[in-house]
Structure 1
Amino acid sequence: MKNFKLLWLLAAACSLTFASCNKDNDGPDTSTTVTFESATLPDAGYINNTSYTEQGVTFNNVYDVQGQYMSAGFAVSKLHDKNTVGSDNQYSVYNDGGAGGSTNFAVCYFAEYLTNTSGVNDAYFAFGAGIEKKMLSVMVCNSTYVTLAVRDGKDGYMDQTQFGADDWLKVTFTGYNASGVKTNVVDYYLADYRNGKSFVCTSWTNVDLSALGIVNKVVVSMSSSDSGDWGMNTPSYVCIDNLKFDLPDVAQ
């Protein structure tokens, strides 16, 4: 009888613990997602000459007024031309639109040849001064410009960018807290031909950014095995969508 009573008490305790855990898991979702859907785009299908802010996150844009082109940062786009080769099609995603069947997305251009120690030409997104959030994830996909260059060797110029054995293209997300201290980095291979692979990211893919921790700013950079004295030969573009973040954990 004593053993039965003890087992009953243990079962009841486990049941209460399970219920408590479920309650915690079913708590309110405090996360926020940037979808770029609030942007009203012109007939051209993209905006490449100004920074963009949504849900308290600003995506920087460095625009050359004299040359009338985006020299670094982010453009918001809805273009998805999967056939036109070269930089004239630099704002198209190699997909049918934004992530999850949406319309808009962002195109990030990493200007390696312009980036300097002051970070003036960095591509980044950031919260307001002193504001920090917990990074969760982002969806990424290659642009058409990149896909046709690395997969088919067609970039509109020398047509010598086709990937072969051991080639790779990588995007790197680097987090910084409100004091400007680096928190961590997250890498994702947008194309990977190492070890017999022939992968090119042409579907919207979720990248876990939680390793960045609590950040005020995230810098986006790119690197490629196909690089020379002047930097990357591979076009340095990546499309992003559905950036997700949360409130920082509250100390107990």
Structure 2
Amino acid sequence: MKKNLLLVLALLISVSFAFTQSVVSFENLSLEPESHYAGEDGQGGFDVDYLRFYNSFTDWGGGMSSWNGFAYSNETDNTSYNFTNQFSSAAGSGVNNSENFVVSYVDADWMNNYEPIPAIMKINKENQEDIIPGMFLSLNTYASLYMADNDLYKTEKHWFKLKIVALSTSSYFGTQAEFILADYRSDEEDLHFKFNDWTYVDLSWIEIADSLLFYIYSSDSGDYGINTPGYFCIDNFADTYPENIPEFKTDIKTDYYINSGETVKLNAFVKGGVQPYSFEWSNYEVLDQADSQTPIANVTENTSLTLVVKDAKGNSKTETVNIWLDATNISENKTFEAKVYFNQNNILNIDCEKEINSLEIFDITGKQIPINFHKSNNVNIDLSFLPQGVYIIRLSDGISSYSTKIVK
């Protein structure tokens, strides 16, 4: 009996090891202090454990060279903002202050509308069923300081994403996921972030893939591709979840006001947890992409949608999103009209033949402005505390309603 128990225990241990791939920390790669390797020897890449990283290096002469794909480095300068500082992580070291890490540069294809040229990694697993739990990502110093220069990303509400396409060369398997490495789109500054520190992301979704293709995209783009330097860093490939995971937070706008015939972009901003995030919208028939973070909606009536946002660790947030049609269109309602205007003292004046029973004021984002008023056919409200902008006024006499936009 004891022998059988020992045999079962041995089998269980062997199974647990068979399905978890070993961590690649890159510490066994040889480098001089404060140096890097980016394919200068023309080998087209480098191998470490069961991984193959590809790169392309060109020596143009006169001290000029270029590269793309993957490099490895132990450089630690995370304060110098210049093009030559390509090979340091924004964190200033590897994970847990280790020395070595991988740097990737995703170049643009000038012969193909400046689409990104993917950086390619090959995974040579002995057992295709082995699980790759995840890895750590960070920005490199050059990209991070570019985003911070004159508060560019914050001012322009930019984002910076890494897309990973996972393929199997021995089957028809293929899938992909996106990772947001920087995001400044939310109106809530607490939701702004960039991967300045090593941040864990989930890779269990790649399943039996043996090849990973890495693409960089950004809202900071022009006629010649993205303007933001297209770099990111990798360390501790196939590592398991760390003990400390950043708090999962969301900023989901719940009310949109549009006119008939207009489309509207819906927004769901997320921070923390473990990427990749998933977005599941109901009423998919009114959306261009029902799994998008920012789908475009096209509705013909007032519509409510349910959004479920999840991260890879199981955190989730469910929210109801309303699209109000014709909230500012007065052409359909001729039975109840009003004269709405600001005077020179920023007093909102509303003159109406009928008594106004209800009055609501919204800013252009759909946020309601708290006010106090008394039922009357002539209303005066001091709105001098509001900033300049466009506001939506909704009135009702209890039977009919009237809506209009007004500029302060």
Partner Cα distance (2:159, 2:125) in 1? 36
TM-score by length of 1: 0.76
1:213 is displaced (CA, Å) by 1.7
1:174 is displaced (CA, Å) by 0.8
Q: Is the 8 A contact 1:109 1:236 kept in 2?
A: yes
Partner Cα distance (2:102, 2:195) in 1? 16
Query: Could you say which residue in structure 1 is the equivalent of 2:213?
Result: 219
Q: Is the 8 A contact 2:165 2:175 kept in 1?
A: yes
Structure 1 residues 105-131: Cα deviation after superposition (integer angstroms, max 9, x where no partner): 0000001235869x9953111035998
Q: Is the 8 A contact 1:108 1:239 kept in 2?
A: yes
1:87 is displaced (CA, Å) by 1.3
Q: Is the 8 A contact 2:173 2:208 kept in 1?
A: no
Q: Please say if 1:38 is aligned against 2:28.
A: yes
Q: Which structure features the higher share of strand residues? A: 2
Greater relative CO, 1 or 2 (CA 8 Å, sep 6+): 1
Query: Could you say which residue in structure 2 is the equivalent of 1:13?
Result: none
Structure 1 residues 142-168: Cα deviation after superposition (integer angstroms, max 9, x where no partner): 1110110012249xxxxxx54434310
Partner Cα distance (2:231, 2:149) in 1? 16
Q: Which one-letter code corresponds to 1:32 in the other structure?
A: S
Secondary structure of 2:148's partner? helix
1:223 is displaced (CA, Å) by 0.2
Would the alpha carbon gap of residues 210 and 73 (structure 1) be closer, same or farther in structure 2, given more than 3 Å must change? same
Partner Cα distance (1:148, 1:237) in 2? 12
Partner Cα distance (1:47, 1:216) in 2? 24
Select the residue among 67, 71, 74 that pairs with 1:71: 67
Any gaps of 5 or more consecutive residues in structure 2? 1-7, 241-408
1:182 is displaced (CA, Å) by 5.4
Secondary structure of 1:34's partner? coil
Would the alpha carbon gap of residues 195 and 163 (structure 1) be closer, same or farther in structure 2, given more than 3 Å must change? closer
Partner Cα distance (1:181, 1:63) in 2? 31
Query: Could you say which residue in structure 2 is the equivalent of 1:12?
Result: none
1:147-186 to 2 correspondences below 5 Å? 147-153=144-150, 162-179=153-170, 181=172, 183-186=174-177
Query: Could you say which residue in structure 2 is the equivalent of 1:84?
Result: 80
Structure 1 residues 182-215: Cα deviation after superposition (integer angstroms, max 9, x where no partner): 5211211111001124311111011101112211
Query: Could you say which residue in structure 2 is the equivalent of 1:96?
Result: 92
Select the residue among 190, 193, 196 that pairs with 2:181: 190
Any gaps of 5 or more consecutive residues in structure 1? 1-19, 155-160, 247-252
Would the alpha carbon gap of residues 122 and 245 (structure 1) be closer, same or farther in structure 2, given more than 3 Å must change? same
1:25 is displaced (CA, Å) by 8.9
Superposition RMSD in Å: 3.2
Query: Could you say which residue in structure 2 is the equivalent of 1:125?
Result: 121
1:234 is displaced (CA, Å) by 0.5
Would the alpha carbon gap of residues 226 and 121 (structure 1) be closer, same or farther in structure 2, given more than 3 Å must change? closer
Secondary structure of 2:88's partner? coil
Partner Cα distance (1:209, 1:226) in 2? 27
Q: Which structure features the higher share of helix residues? A: 1
Q: Which one-letter code corresponds to 1:138 in the other structure?
A: M
1:16-27 to 2 correspondences below 5 Å? none
TM-score by length of 2: 0.48
Would the alpha carbon gap of residues 165 and 24 (structure 1) be closer, same or farther in structure 2, given more than 3 Å must change? farther
Secondary structure of 2:121's partner? strand
Select the residue among 137, 140, 144 that pairs with 2:141: 144
Q: Which one-letter code corresponds to 1:39 in the other structure?
A: L
Q: Choose 1 or 2 for highest CA Rg.
A: 2
Percent identity (aligned) = 27
Structure 1 residues 36-95: Cα deviation after superposition (integer angstroms, max 9, x where no partner): 111111355111115121122101111113356342111100112111112110101111
